[in-house]
Amino acid sequence: MDLTRALSIACASALLSAAVVYPHDAKANGFRVVIDPGHGGVDLGTVHDDGRVRIAEKDVTLALALEAARELRARKVPVTLTRDKDQDLPLGPRTALANRLKADVFISIHMNSTPIPQLSDAQGIETFILNNTTDMTSKRLAALENMVLGGAAEGAPEQADVALILRDLRLDANLAESKRLACVIQDSLLASITQLGKKTAFMPARSIKDRGVKQALFYVLLGAEMPSILLEAGFLSHPRDRALVLSPQGRRTIARAIASAIEEFRRAKGTREAQRALARCKVH
């Protein structure tokens, strides 16, 4: 049995055992996290299919989100998932739920992909904030993520609305905090995954690529009334990135890194430290 196949089987059983329902409890201690597993139901997201193994982004994002929610709950941080099972869910209701709950952060989890897997550059982790971009790769990725079943996403703006969105973005009071959240999450993930590679000789963690914090018009983040980010937790099309998210150890590391970053974000809020972190935070 080759590694990919073994990992895929391990993933499938882990995904089944991860089907735990988290109740939407009240905002108990004044800080609530909403985690959004990308895609779901008939919207598979990106799919890796090499003829032997078939893995859909929607299953990986759900497994990561469930694990992150479990980790946050263990730390007594209230968390709600936009979906806790495989179901259809348009983009609009995801932030609507976060707004309704008056959440403090909104984190949408996705997996990246490339149509040309031979591209050695197409690997690694990147975190996005909602903003306009001139970068073609980010634009293409946003267009892919904004697509639901080959059509425009529900609530997705027409071209004519883009000017209005950009005006709103300029007035977006959450932009700085979204940026700080993105940098804290990106740094935490890179540090934790690198540490996993050093500590355990876990091969996929050895060469994780830092793609940095970026910006693009992701519709799922539109309308969020709190700091919000979209995490691309690696490329399903890249063997090492794939092996990382398909291993329970890799997923646990990612979930812990997200939870630690959220705690750090919350702890530093409004302090000089937060200002310094923001000044260091570079958006590409």
Residues that bind Zn ion (CB under 5 A): 38, 45, 110, 145
Q: How far is the CB of 31 from Zn ion (least distance, A)?
A: 26
Q: Shortest gap between Cβ of 40 and Zn ion (angstroms)?
A: 10
Beta carbons within 10 angstroms of residue 104's beta carbon: 22
Rounded to an integer, what distance in angstroms lies between the CA atom of residue 68 and that of residue 269?
21
3-state DSSP helix/strand/coil % of the chain, to nearest 5:
50, 20, 35
Count Cβ atoms within 10 A of the Cβ of residue 47 and give its class: 0-12 exposed, 13-18 middle, 19 or more buried: middle
Nearer to Zn ion, 112 or 131 (CB): 112
279, containing H or E segment: helix 272-280
Pick between residue 33 and residue 91 the one whose CB is nearest to Zn ion. Answer: 91
Q: Give 38 or 124: the residue with its C-beta nearer to Zn ion.
A: 38
CB closer to Zn ion out of 97 and 142: 142
CA distance 177 to 105: 9
Distance CA 25, CA 33 (A): 11
CA 214, CA 125: separation in Å to the nearest integer?
Answer: 11
Give the H/E segment covering residue 55: strand 54-56
Q: Measured at CB, which residue is nearest to Zn ion?
A: 110
Nearer Cβ to Zn ion (79/236): 236
* Closest listed residue to residue 3, CA positions, set 206, 202, 192, 190: 202
From the CB of 269, what's the least distance to Zn ion, in Å?
Answer: 28
**Closest alpha carbon to 221 in 77, 105, 136:** 105
> What is the distance between the alpha carbons of residues 179 and 130, in angstroms, rounded to a whole number?
9
Residue (204 or 234) nearer to Zn ion, CB = 234
The token pair at 57 is 């982004």
Q: For the CB of residue 102, give the shortest distance to Zn ion in the complex, in Å.
A: 26
Closest approach, Cβ 1 to Zn ion, in A, equals: 29
Q: Nearer Cβ to Zn ion, position 104 or 145? A: 145
Question: Closest approach of Cβ 44 to Zn ion, in Å?
Answer: 10
Q: How far is the CB of 62 from Zn ion (least distance, A)?
A: 12
